[in-house]
Amino acid sequence: MDAIAHMRCPWCGERFETLVDASADAADYIEDCPVCCRPIEMQLRVGTEDDYRLQGGRGD
């Protein structure tokens, strides 16, 4: 099941929405910021379909 998550870009600071697959247990992937186009290292951890944690970082 896909869910909408709200993120803040670690590069430019702009907020944006992204889709997450809440049916997965965990996922690590790279997604480009839709504003500044820089890569964001995403880490998704899912407890239940309604309980997930998405973090984004610069990868420094």
- The pLDDT tens digits of the residues spanning 9-38 come to 999 999 999 998 878 889 999 999 999 999
Beta partners for residue 55, in sequence order: 43
Q: How confident is residue 49, by pLDDT bands cut at 50, 70 and 90?
A: low
Domain ranges of the chain: 2-57
The pLDDT value given to residue 51? 82
- CA-based diameter of the chain, in Å? 32
Q: What is the DSSP string of 38-60?
A: -EEEEEEEEEETTEEEEEEE---
Global pTM value? 0.84
